[in-house]
Structures are given as structure tokens and as C-alpha cells.
Amino acid sequence: MSNKENHGKIMIIGAGGVAAVAAHKCAQVPEVFKEILLASRTLSKCEAIQNDIRKRYGRDIQTAQVDADNVPELVSLIDRFQPDLVLNLALPYQDLHIMDACLAAGVHYVDTANYEPLDEAHFEYSWQWTYQERFKEKGIMAVLGSGFDPGVTNIFTAYASKHLFDEINYLDILDCNAGSHGHVFATNFNPEINIREVTQVVRHWEDGKWVETPAIIDEGSIHFTFDYPVAGAKESYLLYHEELESLVLNIKGLKRARFWMTFSENYLTHLKVLQNVGMTRIDAVNYEGHAVVPIKFLKALLPEPASLGTSYTGKTVIGNIMTGKKDGKTITRYIYNVCDHAEAFKETGTQAIAYTTGVPAMIGAMMVLTGAWQGTGVYNIEQLDPDAFMEALNTHGLPWQVVEHAPLPDKA
């Protein structure tokens, strides 16, 4: 950790649903987060969160306007507020700019999603991993992917590796949203990011290499029915997700690692139509003399994800099924969390998708500020000790369970 003493000051960048949750949760722990600054391009969104926190907890947080693409502007704000840590809850396109600003200012960095270039539907950690030596030389820490998936799913794997297994051989991450928001079609987080994520070619890790399969809306996509705790049987689709990239490097002994997510027929049908007519394109098209990016226009038409909580019912169920060796025997364990949309809204004014990301974001920041996690350089979350984080999940609204389970089949 940096030589400078922590004073409990956190700067949160972003003002969407996840940032709202993280700001609420930080405000609930004043002994760790003594001063909070919420900064975004849209000051009015920050002020709405500020007012909600004041009403709920009688606590004042600070707000500021900042363009997260403007490194000098970010550095100037960091220099004025002097935070101990910057929590990046802006768009993934902005990760590198915010990391650059943290480097310039000598401040710890935490995020929830890896970098994506604006002009390509492709995400991987390689861009952020190149910051390793620079963060080391500066004596500061960057913690990548402290959301739920990635984030808690990585911590579940690290915890299982430390306490439940001698070696994990098969990892399946299963993400189920069994909630209903009452809209014909909507995305639970930023539509651009969501649609780019689910329309790409699928990859999973098997026998030492990446195996590609069709996207979830294409012919030949891989899916199966899984009986989720509380939520029941749901169709679950093989999807590529960023935590697989770091887990296959950092969890020794993995022979296969897969990620599954539930999608309704209604969602898939709308997505297919939108893709077929070109509304998911990320390149600009000329419309009446103006350059218009279809997916950005679509985003403007869809419901704001942060607004979905008002009518959201049902639950999310996210966790890991892991098979491996313990004391020479093959065992399987399922670690999972159940989160209720209505309860999340009651506490923070957001739905469970934002809640399950915002709570771990706060916990990751807490781990660094309290010194539970120390180091210099760039870390994926499974490289750090999971125990204090796992305890904090139970304390701060995302309790987990470990149960015995049958292994998932090779060809689900």
C-alpha cells in the first residue's frame, strides 16, 4: 500500500444505479468512509443521490461535475479532494483514463468492469494489466473487477480454493435474474454495455485453450435448464464473461471454466430483431446528414436501468458450482447468493442488479482503505485474500451459502 496514511476519503466516479448503491453503502459505514465525493458528467444525478442519502441517513456527501474522459480534469478534482481511493463506477470505456489520473495523483484505484474500447465490442484485461509496473513504481494499488460477476464470483472461487478444495478442476458460474421489471424490453444495466456483451461470440476455457461457440441469439448457441435455489428452473445460456480470463490464470488446476446466464424468450426475441435490423450496431451511420450510432440511439429509447427498481419484483441468484479434489476425494460445492429486487429498492432505491454490483464495489474499497488488502501494482480480485471480503458480504447485504451439489455435466 502507498506510504501515505489513509484518512477514509473516497471519490466515486459515476452516478448510475451501481454508483447510487455504492454511495449508499459507503454512507452506512462512516467509520471507514469518513468523507465521500460523488462525481459525474451529470451533476444533477449526483445531487439526486446526495439528497437521498441525506434523507435516509442524515449524512452529507459531496458532489462534483467531472468528465471522466478528461485526464487533466480528473487529476485536478483528485488533487482538490485528496481522496485515499478512487472507485470507478463510470463506463468501461473510461477505465484507462481514470487509471491514468490515479497514477498521476498517486491514489489507489478500484473498478467493477474491465476496459472496453469504444469502437469494438471486445473486452479483456490486457490493457489494464499493462499498468502493473507503473502502479508498483508509484506505490499504489489497482483492484480490478470488484462487482459481483466479476468480483464476488472471483472471491467465491478464491475462498473455495483456500478452504474447501485442494484443487478446483471444474468451475461453472451461473447468473440468474428471476425478476420482472414490467417493461416489454429493457436492460438491467447500461444498454450499450449489456447488448455488446451478450451479442458477442461465446468463449469458455477447456483443456488449456479457449473454445468458441455461437452467441446466445445465434443458431447453435449452448444452453440448458438449471434448477436455481429459490428461483426454480430457468434456461441458462453459455456466455463469455470477463472473470474467466483472470481466473484461468490465477486458479491453478482448472481444466474447464464456463459462465452461464439466464435469458427469457421475450428478451432473446427482441434482441434478435434489434440485431437483424441493425439497431445493435456500434459504428456510425449517416441519417439526414448526421452521424448516428444505432446502439446509442437505442439506449436513448430504452428505460433508464436505474429507474427499473420502482416496479421490480423477484430475485437474483448468482453463484459458482465447483468440482475438484479434497483429501484425495472428488467433491462438488455450490456457493451462491440470493438477492431480492424489492428489498434492494427499499434500501437504496435501485434494483438487485445494481445492488449486487454496488455492494461489492463498496466492500472492495473498504478492503483497501482498512488495510485488509495491501500491495502495489494491479490485482484481479481472486489474487487477494477472500476471508474479510466474504465476512463483509454477510454483514452488508449479500449473504452467501455453501451447499453440496451434483457436478454439472460436461455437455450441459
| Residues 353-366 pLDDT 10s | 999 999 999 999 99
Q: Give the up-direction half-sphere exposure of residue 184: CA atoms within 13 A in the CB hemisphere.
A: 5
**Stretch 194-213: mean pLDDT:** 89
Confidence of residue 267 (pLDDT cuts 50, 70, 90): confident
Measure the CA–CA gap between 381 and 251, rounded to whole angstroms: 12
Measure the CA–CA gap between 114 and 128, rounded to whole angstroms: 8
Q: What is the pLDDT of residue 350?
A: 92
Mean pLDDT of the chain: 92
Looking only at the bridges linking them, the beta strands covering 108-111 and 85-88 are parallel
Sign of CA dihedral 305, 113, 296, 23: positive
Q: Flag whether pLDDT at 397 surpasses 80.
A: yes
Say how many Å lie between the first and final Cα of the chain, rounded: 43
Amino acid at site 166: D
Q: Flag whether pLDDT at 122 surpasses 80.
A: no
pLDDT in tens, 242-265: 999 999 999 999 999 999 999 877
Q: Map out the domains of the chain with their CATH numbers.
A: 9-148+355-394 (3.40.50.720), 152-349+400-404 (3.30.360.10)
Burial of 338 per CB tally in 10 Å (0-12, 13-18, 19+): buried
Confidence of residue 412 (pLDDT cuts 50, 70, 90): low
Q: What residue spans of 251-305 are helical by DSSP H?
A: 265-276, 294-301
Unique residue bearing C-alpha cell 435469458: 263
pLDDT in tens, 289-340: 888 888 888 888 777 766 665 677 899 999 999 999 999 999 999 999 999 9
Confidence of residue 119 (pLDDT cuts 50, 70, 90): low
> Regarding predicted confidence, which is higher, 1 or 88?
88
In this prediction the pTM is 0.91
Q: What is the pLDDT of residue 2?
A: 42
pLDDT in tens, 168-189: 999 999 999 987 766 666 666 5
SS3 390: helix
> Regarding predicted confidence, which is higher, 292 or 227?
227
Q: What element of type H or E holds 170? A: strand 167-177
Cell numbers placing 393: 458480504
DSSP code at position 29: -
Residue closest to 363 by CA, chosen among 354, 373, 353, 378: 373
Measure the CA–CA gap between 36 and 53, rounded to whole angstroms: 11
Looking only at the bridges linking them, the beta strands covering 35-40 and 9-13 are parallel
Measure the CA–CA gap between 166 and 219, rounded to whole angstroms: 39
Proportion of the chain above pLDDT 90, given as a percent: 75
Whether omega before 150 lies within 30 degrees of 0, making that bond cis, reads yes
Backbone angles phi, psi at 330, to 5 degrees: -85, 125
26 CB-near residues (< 8 Å, 6+ apart) = 10, 12, 32, 33, 36, 362, 365
Give the chain's length.
412
Strand partners, 167: 325
Q: Flag whether pLDDT at 346 surpasses 50.
A: yes
